[in-house]
Chain A
Amino acid sequence: MSLTLSNPDNPTGFVAALRKHFFATKLDAVISLVFGALIIWFVMGVVDWAILDAIFRLENRDQCTYEAGACWAVIESRGRLIMFGLYPYAEQWRSTLACFVIIATMVLSCVPLFWSVRRLPALWVGGFTVFVLLMRGGFWNMPLVTSEQWGGLALTLFIFSAVFVIGMPLAVLFALARRSDLPVIAKSFGLIIDFVRSLPLLTILFAAAVVVPLIAPEALQGNKLMRVVVAFAVFFAAYQAEIIRAGMQSTSAGQEEAAIALGMPYWSLVVDILLPQAFRNTLPSTINQAVITFKETSIVTFVGFFELMASGNAAIGTGEWGNQYVEVYVFLAFIYFIFVFGLSRYGAWLETRMRLGHG
C-alpha cells in the first residue's frame, strides 16, 4: 500500500490513525466510504428493528402482527420452553441450576490450575454427577424426571460436554492405537477411524438410538441419551484422533528416542512428552472441532431429543407465535454465539499463553 501521507512522523491522534488506515489512497477512500455506508445502513436497520421499533411487553394480543419491529414478547412468553424444552414447569429451577453446574465445570476445566491427571477427571465426574442428580431427581422432594423429558439449553450443554469429555480420551486412545508398533492394531484402528469418518453423524446417531435396541441385549443398552452421547463421542473421537495423531507426528522422533534411552516408561512418554506437544501443536484445529461439535449437538433433534434448537422450533411451532420465528432464531443464535465465541476467545488466549512458552 502506498502512503500519501504528508507527514508520517506524526501519526498520533484519531484523525491521523483514521487517515492512515482508511484513506491512505484514493481507492482506499472509496472502499472505506462504500463499506462504511453499508455498515451504518445495516446497523441502523438492526437497531431500528431490534430496539427502537421493538415491542418488549405485550399490551394486546394482536399488537405483534402489525408492528414493523421485533416482538421480543415472544421470548418472555416462550422463553421457558426454549430454555427448558419439555422439562416439567415446576421443576425448571433444577434445570437452571444444572446449567450453572455444567457451565461452572466447563469454566473451571479451562483454568490451568485444574490441568492435572487427577484434578480434571475428578472435576468432570463431580460436575456430571451433580448435573445428573439434579436433572433426574427421584430423591428428597425432587420428583423423577427421566432423560426423555430433559431439554433446551441444559440438554445441549450436557451433550456437548459429555461428548467432549468422553470423546477426548477416546481420541487419544485411537491416535495411540493407530501409531502402534503392532501392525494389526494400527491397521484395524485406521480402518475403524476411516469407517466412522465416512458415515454421516446422523446415521451413527440413528443407529445408536434406534438400531442398537433391536440387536443388543437389554442389559447392554443403557438409556437412549447415553447411547446417543457415546455414539456422538465416538464420531468426535474419530476426527479428533487424526488431529492428535498429526500433532504427535510433528514432534521429532528424536524426543521419543531420548525418552526411551533415559528409561522413561511408555505412559510417561505419551502423557509427559507427546500429548502436551500434540495438543499445543493442534490447538486451533482442536478448538475448531469443539466449535463444530457444539453446533452439531442440534442434530440430536432428529433422534427425538428436545435440545435448544428443537425447543426453539417448538416455541414457534404453535400458531400463536408462528410469525415471530425471526426473533426466536435471533435469540437462539445469540445463545449459541455466547458459547462459541467464548470457546474461540479461550482458544486465542491459550495460543498466546503457549507461545509465551508455558507448558
Chain B
Amino acid sequence: MADPAIHIQSVDKYYGDYHALRDVSLDVPDGQTLVICGPSGSGKSTLIRCINGLETYASGSVEVLGLAVGDDRHLCNLVRKQVGMVFQHFNLFPHLTILENCVLPQIRAIGKDRTAATEEARTQLARMQVDIHAEKYPDQLSGGQQQRVALARALCLKPKIMLFDEPTSALDPEMISEVLDVMQALAREDMTIICVTHEMGFARAVADRVILMAEGRIVEEGTAEQMFTAPTHQITRDFMKAVQR
C-alpha cells in the first residue's frame, strides 16, 4: 500500500497543564474522506490543527504528504501550501472583495501572477456558485455564501488535502445544505478530506471512515453505519443519540 497522506503517531498535546491530546495515532490514506466527531472539548479541533501546524504538539510525530509537521517552519509552510483549511467562522478578509480574497493568497503563497490567479479564482468561485458575488465584500454575503467563498479560496491553491473544522455549525439551518452539497461533490472527487462535523447525514453519504474522539483520545472508529448500528462504547452511543436529536 502507498504511504498514507497523513500519518499521525502517538501525539500528545498540552495546553498548560491540560492534556488535550493523549497518545493519538491516526493514518489517513490518500483520497479518503474522514469525519471526526465527538463531544465538545474532546480535542477534535486541536487534532486537525496539528496537521497544518496551527498548533504545536509536545511529543509524537505528524507527517503530511511525507513532510514532517513540527517545529521546522519551512516544512510547515510547504505543508500549508498543499493543505487547505475551512473554519467554523469562515475567516474571510473583510476589507477585500470576494475575488481579491481568492486572488491574494495565490499571489502571496505560491507566487502566481495576477492574471492567472484571477482566472483560477473565477473558476473556483463559479464551481462554488458564488461567482456572481465576486465584486462584493464578505459582509454583503450570507453565512452560507461566505463559507463557500472560503472553500473556493482554499481550493484556488490546489490543495491535495482539505481540512474542515465544523464548517456548518455557525450557519443558519437553511444554509447548511448548500455548503454540505459542495463538500459532498468535493468528497466524491479524489481529494483527501478530514472534516470535523456533527452532520451525520454528511458522514453517511460520503465518509469512508468516521472516528469519535473523547477526552483527547480516539475512542471508536468505523464506517458511519457501524457507528450507528454497532457502537462498542457507551460514549459513542450517548453521542450518537445526542446528535440525532
Contact = CB atoms under 8 A, between A and B. Distances in A.
A348 interface: no
Contacts of A280: 95
A265 B104 CA distance: 12
A333 interface: no
A247 to B, nearest CB: 12
A237 B95 CA distance: 25
Max chain A CB contacts within 10 Å: which of B83, B89, B90, B91? B91
Interface string B118-160: 0000000000000000000100000000000010011001000
Contacts of B91: 252, 254-255, 257-258
A4 interface: no
The number of chain A residues touching the other chain, given as a range, is: 20 to 34
B109 A262 contact: yes
A264 interface: yes
Interface in A307-359: 357, 359
A263 B108 CA distance: 8
B80 A254 contact: no
Interface in B73-130: 77, 80-81, 83-85, 87, 89-96, 104-105, 108-110
A258 B154 CA distance: 9
A262 B77 contact: no
Contact of A258 (B83, B87, B108): B87
Nearest to B53: A260
B108 A272 contact: yes
Given A254-B89, A272-B108, A260 B153 contact: no
B137 A357 contact: yes
B52 interface: yes
A261 B157 contact: no
B54 A257 contact: yes
B95 A262 contact: no
A134 to B, nearest CB: 39
Contact of B54 (A252, A260, A272): A260
A24 interface: no
Contacts of B153: 262
A268 interface: yes
Contacts of B80: 260-263
Contacts of B85: 258, 261-262
Contacts of A265: 77, 108-109
A276 B157 contact: no
Interface string A240-275: 000000000000101101111111110010001100
Contact of B93 (A255, A260, A263, A357): A255
Contacts of B104: 264, 268, 272
A156 interface: no
A316 to B, nearest CB: 50
B137 A263 contact: no
B105 A257 contact: no
B165 to A, nearest CB: 10
A277 interface: yes
B108 A268 contact: yes
A32 B85 CA distance: 62
Contacts of B95: 276-277, 280, 359
Contacts of B89: 252, 254
Max chain B CB contacts within 10 Å: which of A252, A263, A277? A263
Contacts of A263: 77, 80-81, 105, 109-110, 157
A265 B89 CA distance: 22
Contact of B105 (A264, A357, A359): A264
B87 A254 contact: yes
A268 B81 CA distance: 15
A252 B95 CA distance: 12
Given A272-B104, A272-B108, A261 B52 contact: yes
Contact of B157 (A260, A262, A277): A262
Given A257-B87, A262-B154, 7 more contacts: A258-B87, A258-B93, A259-B93, A262-B85, A268-B108, A276-B95, A277-B94
Interface of A: 252, 254-255, 257-265, 268, 272-273, 276-277, 280, 357, 359
Interface of B: 52, 54, 77, 80-81, 83-85, 87, 89-96, 104-105, 108-110, 137, 150, 153-154, 157
The 6 tightest CB contacts between A and B, nearest first, are: A258-B91, A263-B109, A254-B91, A263-B80, A268-B108, A261-B85
22 contacts: A252-B89, A254-B87, A254-B89, A257-B91, A258-B93, A258-B150, A260-B80, A261-B52, A261-B54, A261-B80, A261-B83, A261-B84, A261-B85, A262-B109, A263-B80, A263-B81, A263-B157, A264-B104, A265-B108, A265-B109, A272-B108, A273-B93
